[in-house]
Structure 1
């Protein structure tokens, strides 16, 4: 009672009081816990520890009542690294409870259960009764050290489960440089090996090959640390990794590994869908166990030394040297041309030394003072009785009869009329001129047109109109390039941080990193587009300055001879070529299907601008405005994005696109044939029916403009064929398909222009002829390297790597880099052809230059 009172008073002072009943309850709880603990000790399974040895197979049985611990001694050396591999086989089937294996090492713990359950897509479970794991080997500072590790075997199954345990040494655990090592791996038996950087080696390429495409595998590069992530469900947690079928390659830099060594981890996946393989079947229940089958794969791994700094320098110097040579060659040609022009100017300024025939040739006339004879086709036009079935039939016939009189105007009268019309420099004032309002349709409906008929606008008006092309594309380039650069930097950062090599589709066998960039060589090879685009701009600027000086001194040949000189489209073409290089470099920072349009957008623009320039040469007054042209190109890029996102296997999309393609071809053909003298309104169907009735039914007259009709018929055949091909085949690479359409139309129009130029009695001078032949040859070689296909984002990253190949130029550039070199040179040559193709007409009056 005394004890109870004191205890009671003490708790009262603390602000609480516990009665005798509650105290008895607490004593009862304590006793109950003591009894449970005694019983638990009595139920502790029997633990047996065995001293085990390497390369000995232990057959044993485990239940919930007995637990076995295997003790191993392992001597490790600082100069020699040996791996330790644990192999387990469970002999019992239909296990209700798995066996747990725990490997306790000095600096690491590894645990796994058998059967090993690995999960696949849609949480499918794959059990493996045969498991092999390699133990992590942390580095040691001592010359020789003996370490102890233990393997605990336990289970909660009351029935005895038979198993086999074997621990062995991996003699070839350390990989040697340039020595191939073969081994076998499976999902439950991953393999990894150690590589130590030799002295003086900063970068190596780890290459893995296999003769079998499937099963799908993963190769990973991880730092020397424990644990090593070597299972399908955790291999992506650390380091760099990539999926592979037959080929895999990762470039590893010494600076990324403080220990100057790394692990090469090879894992076989439980399913093949990541590598493009099919899923054989889908279970009804996500938790259903699936028999994994035999998924072992023989792999070869080899570590090779990558290129050194000298190769980087040689590659950069080679790239710079190629394109700087074009600057030197251009300077040499300019000096020769300038010297020739000076001699020509001296001869022209001394008429006493010039024969009448030479003077006449300078003015575009024959020796007898007459204009050159018209080609047979144009003569047949004048004698042909065919008429135009529209409101302008009468005007066309009248203007045809007076055609020669119009063409025989002298240079002086033309110059006078042109100077009198210089009343305004605003383009909107063009249609207010009385002479143009009165005969605009008459001039355009003549069977035979000259450049003077379609060069009636004020030159200053047209110059401003075509300069808009340059300023618009410069604005587009800024707003397009800045987000692209930001996006690809983000892509590269994600690759470097996550280590996921499947994000970008490189040629991994020839991807040389520099700084944060994974494939510097693919970026450097785009330098040609930028340098040659700048060179073309300088050439155009030089011609522009020379022409403006001639205009200031009222040079007759500049005012009234040759194709009208408008350089705005040339400036736009040069800018587009430079932007193609910049955006192609951005694309190759991390090439994949989401940013492929970066590489093709300005290709569409280049093709479109080249076609516009060809048309502008003979139709300066009626060429499309910059706003219309860029709006059409924006629509093309819009469809390119839609095709990449929705075009793969989508029948509805291909039907809609093919219909739009055919309708656009027909509308453009009508616009070109009638030179803009038609309207798309409610009465267009009535006019079409009327033309068919008058020209095809009532009198069956042939087309008035045969040349244009031939071109447009061929163009429609080509485009309709391409539309049918796309609808039937539905190519996966929609962006390239769209680019092929643009290139085919450009080549068709260019061939037509050359043929008609020669048929019109014109000639091609030596410089453009050399450019044409040179460009054709370069394009041929460029396309050969383009179709080598070193990677493709149309397939999975593992399938894309099957096309990877080693470098072929200076150990630094691959086939695609050579495509960049040759295609930039070919584009530059194509631009020079467009710039110089009509130089033979510089001294021919515009009323003697035919329109086609």
Structure 2
């Protein structure tokens, strides 16, 4: 019965409870409305340049009504300045809402701005500039309202002042000074005048800190002028003392833009000290006085005519080298025509072509003894057998004649047909001969060596060996350059899309954009590396063709005189110079610490190839193979990347690198001193102890190879000193430090080569001397401009911009562009020095040219 009664009255109870909830909600709503009706709203007609001192509580709301006349031909800014005079307002701040025709601006006072690690900084004094909505009428009266409210029941006292900014519009080439702080940002309007398509906005300050941000934004509301939102739109840069942004009219449809300057709440972005971390998450930190006085000036950028002049200037400089080279080549060609050619042949005998060596051996058994006797008897250089002896021993004469021809054919094997395939010849073919295996140690360990002692391998084999240098570096360049180009295009796209100009370390006072490229002049100035590298390849090709023709006609000088000419390393050097220009241009699309190795990788290649070429001149048979050389250079580049990423202040890295540097120096010194006749195996320590005992303790004999020992001692002193410097100073720019090591070793070896060349009685011809003097002078000027340091990625972007300077040539090129010009010319001259410095030996037999 009870259950049946509950079921009967259940729906009634549900409806009763629902009605109770509705009644309760109506009561609460009525109480809220009644309370809202008790809140007082006060509206005041306010005026500009009048300070209003009022108190606002949770029970009242104050509205200030303003009106002002806006003219289409005159732009005026309106600035709102608020001060909170009551203490403890952080718990219940005042909310200010500015309602305009096309925008609403709201902010609280005290204004809480956040820094690194979400640290909070309160500002009781706030000043904001109102954006001006555009008007189509000649004059128009616009209204705006300032609503003031708070939730504080005790009331908060404040001051409000609205004023006009008469100098709101910037004028071309006219400096304007102002003061800004984190809670009082400033921005101004600039309108492009007729005929000006590009301008440079420069902001300067005598004060390094506090750190600031300069932003370029389109004319729109709202304007992002606080530290926590200034990076939302437009282009922006952090700054200490200077900032500069190039602005193009095409990027702003309204033909005008805002220049916004914001002072940051902290200085870490500009390299300033890291402030203490708050003890509590909600702790407020006193920001102190962070006002900064700045001045801004907008100047027209260069016109299109200056771009054309800059490009013509660049092309003209390097095309002049092509013209000069053509004139020198014409003079040299005329001299070579007048110079007689000495052909390798015996007097009175028709020479057997080295191409016919195989057929001669095959048919040797069919020759009659009389024919062989007559041929050899007519040979004036056949000195140890007389005519009678030949007649008495015809069989012995025939066998000896075959041996002589075989020896001649081996010595002149370079004269074989250029069409013959080299695929069947390996580098070690010549070493398989018994005489070479038996006397290699004897020849290479002689106290005084001649070039003929170290030029015994097959010339075709060596040519193929050194051609591998060229093909390998060409392959490396292609596979290296493609991802680099893709990466820097991505960098440039990110800069253009985000507007963050702190990504790239330009010289912003002389960065001329073209299309999507932000600094076209820094890219154009690398053209010299490419053009002069190509010119060097053409010069090497000319010499290669002339030498090949001399070999084809069995020229005695080409076969037996002078330094053996192998051009593979020269081709590799010219290709490396061209790749250096390409990768340097890629680096300057967006220079920063993450891609600096693009600019230096082929510098290591060039330095290494120059050292190898110097060594190859006197040691053609025992120079390093291309695979070994490029593997070592790859290791250098690998350490360069590690140093850039992990080397800054990492003592473990510097210890490991210094130890490896010293060990590599010692191993290379041993290789050079013993001409490769030593082995790195388990018995190396026993042999070292034995040499020390026999040469230093038992008989105290001096070094057998004095000249080599002097070079290696100097090299070890230099390298050990550089290793100690790196370990003690730990330089931030590891890539440049590594490049300095390579250059110091190259200069040391080059100086040693020149000194030993003169000490050996050799001379330097006029052309080579001119190249040496010219190159030395150009290198001096180039290094002067290099050390000007217009930017540096070792510091923050704001600190780097302190080194920025104006253009110095044609208002288009800066100091670093001049470094590109001069260094490309100096490298080209250095290559010419290596190419021509031994031209005086072209008529000297190789057994009279000393090895050092």
TM-score, normalized by the shorter chain, greater than 0.5: yes
Match of 1:697 in 2: 697
Match of 2:386 in 1: none
Match of 2:103 in 1: 108
1:619-639 deviation per Cα after TM superposition (whole angstroms, max 9, x unaligned): 000000000000000000000
Match of 1:566 in 2: 566
Q: Secondary structure at the residue paired with 2:170?
A: coil
Q: Secondary structure at the residue paired with 2:824?
A: helix
1:593-643 deviation per Cα after TM superposition (whole angstroms, max 9, x unaligned): 000000000000000000000000000000000000000000000000010
**Distance (Å, rounded) in 1 between the aligned partners of 2:504 and 2:751:** 39
Match of 1:47 in 2: 41
Contact conserved, 2:412 with 2:559, CA < 8 A, in 1? no
Match of 2:5 in 1: none
**Distance (Å, rounded) in 1 between the aligned partners of 2:65 and 2:13:** 53
Match of 2:132 in 1: 137
Match of 1:376 in 2: none
**Distance (Å, rounded) in 2 between the aligned partners of 1:185 and 1:52:** 26
**Distance (Å, rounded) in 1 between the aligned partners of 2:442 and 2:185:** 83
The alpha-carbon deviation at position 191 of structure 1 amounts to: 0.3
Match of 2:236 in 1: 241
Q: Secondary structure at the residue paired with 1:133?
A: strand
The alpha-carbon deviation at position 415 of structure 1 amounts to: 5.0
Q: Secondary structure at the residue paired with 1:490?
A: helix
Contact conserved, 2:318 with 2:531, CA < 8 A, in 1? yes
**Distance (Å, rounded) in 1 between the aligned partners of 2:819 and 2:618:** 33
Match of 1:813 in 2: 813
Match of 1:74 in 2: 68
1:377-419 deviation per Cα after TM superposition (whole angstroms, max 9, x unaligned): xxxxxxxxxxxxxxxxxxxxxxxxxxxxxxxxxx999855514
**Distance (Å, rounded) in 2 between the aligned partners of 1:808 and 1:640:** 33
1:233-284 deviation per Cα after TM superposition (whole angstroms, max 9, x unaligned): 0000000001000010000000000000000000000000000000232212
**Out of 120, 123, 138, which is 1:125 matched to?**
120
1:660-706 deviation per Cα after TM superposition (whole angstroms, max 9, x unaligned): 00010000000000000000111111111111111111111111110
Q: Secondary structure at the residue paired with 1:163?
A: strand
State yes or no: 1:293 paired with 2:252.
Answer: no
Match of 1:356 in 2: none
**Out of 11, 28, 39, which is 1:36 matched to?**
28
**Distance (Å, rounded) in 1 between the aligned partners of 2:155 and 2:547:** 99
Contact conserved, 1:414 with 1:560, CA < 8 A, in 2? no
**Distance (Å, rounded) in 2 between the aligned partners of 1:441 and 1:413:** 25
**Distance (Å, rounded) in 2 between the aligned partners of 1:638 and 1:420:** 41
State yes or no: 1:613 paired with 2:608.
Answer: no
Report 1:785-824 matches (<5 A).
Answer: 785-824=785-824
Q: With structure 2 as the length reference, what TM-score do the two structures score?
A: 0.89
Match of 1:258 in 2: 253
Contact conserved, 1:425 with 1:458, CA < 8 A, in 2? no
**Distance (Å, rounded) in 1 between the aligned partners of 2:834 and 2:605:** 16
Q: Secondary structure at the residue paired with 1:235?
A: coil
Match of 1:834 in 2: 834
Contact conserved, 1:63 with 1:155, CA < 8 A, in 2? yes
Match of 2:87 in 1: 93
Match of 2:411 in 1: 418
The alpha-carbon deviation at position 180 of structure 1 amounts to: 0.4
Match of 1:231 in 2: 226
Match of 2:367 in 1: none
**Distance (Å, rounded) in 2 between the aligned partners of 1:576 and 1:110:** 59
**Distance (Å, rounded) in 2 between the aligned partners of 1:610 and 1:692:** 34
The alpha-carbon deviation at position 340 of structure 1 amounts to: 1.2
Match of 2:778 in 1: 778
Contact conserved, 1:123 with 1:287, CA < 8 A, in 2? no
Contact conserved, 1:415 with 1:560, CA < 8 A, in 2? no
Match of 1:714 in 2: 714
Contact conserved, 1:63 with 1:157, CA < 8 A, in 2? yes
Report 1:199-598 matches (<5 A).
Answer: 199-345=194-340, 418-419=411-412, 425-598=425-598
**Distance (Å, rounded) in 2 between the aligned partners of 1:413 and 1:812:** 66
**Distance (Å, rounded) in 1 between the aligned partners of 2:846 and 2:269:** 65
Q: Secondary structure at the residue paired with 2:231?
A: helix
**Distance (Å, rounded) in 1 between the aligned partners of 2:467 and 2:10:** 98
Contact conserved, 2:662 with 2:719, CA < 8 A, in 1? yes
Match of 1:367 in 2: none
Segment drifting more, 690-699 vs 212-221: 690-699
State yes or no: 1:62 paired with 2:56.
Answer: yes
The alpha-carbon deviation at position 26 of structure 1 amounts to: 4.8
**Out of 163, 167, 175, which is 1:168 matched to?**
163
707 and 780 in structure 1: CA distance in 2 versus 1, 3 angstrom threshold: same
Contact conserved, 2:413 with 2:458, CA < 8 A, in 1? no
Contact conserved, 1:217 with 1:269, CA < 8 A, in 2? yes
Q: Secondary structure at the residue paired with 1:179?
A: coil
**Distance (Å, rounded) in 2 between the aligned partners of 1:683 and 1:519:** 58
Q: Secondary structure at the residue paired with 1:427?
A: coil
Q: Secondary structure at the residue paired with 2:572?
A: helix
The alpha-carbon deviation at position 838 of structure 1 amounts to: 0.5
The alpha-carbon deviation at position 35 of structure 1 amounts to: 3.2
Match of 1:677 in 2: 677
1:45-104 deviation per Cα after TM superposition (whole angstroms, max 9, x unaligned): 100000000000000000000000000002111100000000000001112200000000
Q: Secondary structure at the residue paired with 2:108?
A: strand
Contact conserved, 1:230 with 1:265, CA < 8 A, in 2? yes
The alpha-carbon deviation at position 32 of structure 1 amounts to: 3.7
**Distance (Å, rounded) in 2 between the aligned partners of 1:264 and 1:505:** 21
**Out of 153, 156, 162, which is 2:151 matched to?**
156
1:94-138 deviation per Cα after TM superposition (whole angstroms, max 9, x unaligned): 122000000000100000000100000000000000000000112
Contact conserved, 1:791 with 1:804, CA < 8 A, in 2? yes
**Out of 63, 72, 78, which is 1:84 matched to?**
78
The alpha-carbon deviation at position 21 of structure 1 amounts to: 5.2
1:307-355 deviation per Cα after TM superposition (whole angstroms, max 9, x unaligned): 0100000000000000000000000000011111111238x79xxxxxx
The alpha-carbon deviation at position 287 of structure 1 amounts to: 2.2
The alpha-carbon deviation at position 25 of structure 1 amounts to: 4.8
Contact conserved, 2:512 with 2:520, CA < 8 A, in 1? yes
Q: With structure 1 as the length reference, what TM-score do the two structures score?
A: 0.89
**Distance (Å, rounded) in 2 between the aligned partners of 1:775 and 1:630:** 27
Q: Which runs of 4+ in 1 moved over 3 A?
A: 17-35, 411-417, 419-424
Q: Secondary structure at the residue paired with 2:788?
A: coil
Match of 1:851 in 2: 851
Q: Secondary structure at the residue paired with 1:264?
A: strand
**Distance (Å, rounded) in 1 between the aligned partners of 2:231 and 2:43:** 36
Contact conserved, 1:138 with 1:224, CA < 8 A, in 2? no
**Aligned Cα root-mean-square deviation (Å):** 1.7
1:796-837 deviation per Cα after TM superposition (whole angstroms, max 9, x unaligned): 000000000000000000000000000000000000000011
Report 1:728-743 matches (<5 A).
Answer: 728-743=728-743
The alpha-carbon deviation at position 429 of structure 1 amounts to: 1.4
Q: Secondary structure at the residue paired with 1:43?
A: helix
Q: Secondary structure at the residue paired with 1:117?
A: strand
The alpha-carbon deviation at position 428 of structure 1 amounts to: 2.8
**Distance (Å, rounded) in 1 between the aligned partners of 2:135 and 2:766:** 75
**Distance (Å, rounded) in 1 between the aligned partners of 2:782 and 2:636:** 25
**Distance (Å, rounded) in 2 between the aligned partners of 1:660 and 1:176:** 60
